[in-house]
Amino acid sequence: MNNYTHLSPEIHRQLARLRSRFVPRRCFCEFSNAMSTLEDRRRAEIAEGLNPEARGVAVIGNSGSGKSTAVTHFFQGHDTLRMLSHEDETADVASFLVPSPATLKGVGISCLSGLGYPLMRDRTAGIIWELVQSHLRELQVMFLHLDEAQDLMGSQSEREMLAVVNTLKSVMQNKHWPVSIVLSGLPTLKTLLNLDPQLGRRFTPVSFSQLDDINDGQNVCALIQQYAQAAVIECAEEVRTEDFVARLIHAAANEFGILIEIIIGAIEICMRRDESTLGKEHFVAEFLRRTGCVDDLNPFVRRDYSALNPRLILPVHEDLLNGKVPPRRGAPKK
């Protein structure tokens, strides 16, 4: 067992800076372009006194794909878009997390509270959303972002989901102040958008797709080296090989956000051991920390690692028999 050293405040700040780094992917650029197009269009319409129906953007990806981080980074870093705050009387963007379990009424109440107008007495869902639209207009909000939007479906009936669809359309079609809606959520969100073709055609979809070692291997290898360099440590040759990169991608369940977490976690372990070279053993230890697995179930150790489900906590050998893991992209079909 390796002895860990206490890290100095400066190294903790260095690790914090690593975690705050944002690495843009092609899907982020697609989202950024879609949002910039909508912003330019809406500002031109406002200048002309026009209020045609608004469009929206749907950001879709698995848990750990980095979609929520990307949306937040765009809104917070965009010079011309002001996020909703208590200090300003107007805002361009209002961003809220969809409560779970979600109901149309509950989401409306959450939005009202976030807009600074908590509901003082019980109202119907229809009235609540009329109030939401009124306050969006009053605050001059151009974009309403709802994160974890797949929860808008939940276990609701088709009738309830249609009510959600009609409400989203009414926000974008408001004749006095149409608001563009940005939805981010899991792939099941597509079901809601496809429930009504009129809603689906109003949204530009942006997919935060999974990684694969064939198309993304070189970029991931470069990413490991970039993070190591930023941490002022060396990068061992063994973590630059195609085999290691493939193992890392699998350990991250092919998700970009999880992959970044594993890289930073391995770097932290390297620092805590007071070592200056990032090697395979640090990734082995980080995956153990994340899952509690034994070496034989660690994708950085096991020979036939593709049979492992990297999302399991405290896995056992029986999971290899019972768990079904989709094959890696690019892997030959058996």
Nearest to 227 by CA among 298, 283, 306: 283
**Predicted local distance difference test score (pLDDT) of residue 332:** 42
Question: Which domain covers residue 51, as residue numbers?
Answer: 26-208
Question: How does pLDDT run across 146-175, given as a tens digit for each residue?
Answer: 999 999 987 778 889 999 999 999 999 999
256 in the same domain as 123: no
221 in the same domain as 201: no
Question: CA 224, CA 207: separation in Å to the nearest integer?
Answer: 24
Residue 273 lies in a domain: yes
- Please tell me the pTM assigned to this model: 0.91
**Domain-terminating residue out of 149, 175, 208:** 208
Domain count along the chain: 2
Q: Dmax of the chain from CA atoms?
A: 69
**Predicted local distance difference test score (pLDDT) of residue 217:** 97
Question: How does pLDDT run across 26-74, given as a tens digit for each residue?
Answer: 999 999 999 999 999 999 999 999 999 999 999 999 999 999 999 999 9
- For 273-305, where are the alpha helices, taking DSSP H only? 280-291
Burial class (CB in 10 A: 0-12, 13-18, 19+), 19: exposed
Tokens of 122: 């019980």
Average pLDDT, the chain: 93
145 in the same domain as 264: no
Residue 319 lies in a domain: no
229 in the same domain as 148: no
Residue 133 lies in a domain: yes
Residues of the chain with pLDDT under 70: 1-2, 321-334
242 in the same domain as 113: no
Q: Are 209 and 64 in contact (CB under 8 A)?
A: no
Residue 40's CATH number? 3.40.50.300
Give the three-state DSSP class for 184: strand
* CA distances for 171 relative to 9, 55, 74, 129, 214, angstroms: 48, 10, 22, 9, 42
251 in the same domain as 179: no
SS (H, E, C) 317-329: CHHHHHCCCCCCC
